Amino acid sequence: MIELVRSAFQKYDLSSQRELAGFLKRSADKAFASCWHCIVGRQFSSYVTHEMNGFIYLTKGPLSILLFKS
């Protein structure tokens, strides 16, 4: 999963939040079977139900990324 995030940041800059989220969601669906959801932003709250071993939250500079499988 970390490699997907690295490749997303190589392909898109920090201002392309929607493109980052779409790329990460599609890549996770393909690599780990669907149904992944991705939220990228500078400030957000979440309350989600996810599958076991299907959740990652990380930050890069001012952006946070929430990626989870349901």
Domains identified in the chain, total number: 1
Residue 14 covered by a domain: yes
Residue 43 covered by a domain: yes
Rounded Cα gap, residues 58 and 13, in angstroms: 16
Provide the angle, in degrees to the nearest 10, between the axes of the packed helices 2-11 and 17-32.
Answer: 140
Residue 60 covered by a domain: no
Q: Which domain holds residue 30?
A: 2-52
Residue 44 covered by a domain: yes
Tens-digit pLDDT profile for residues 1-52: 889 999 998 999 888 999 999 999 999 999 998 899 999 999 999 999 999 9
Which CATH number belongs to the domain containing residue 48 in this structure?
3.30.740.10
What is the value of pTM for the model shown? Answer: 0.88
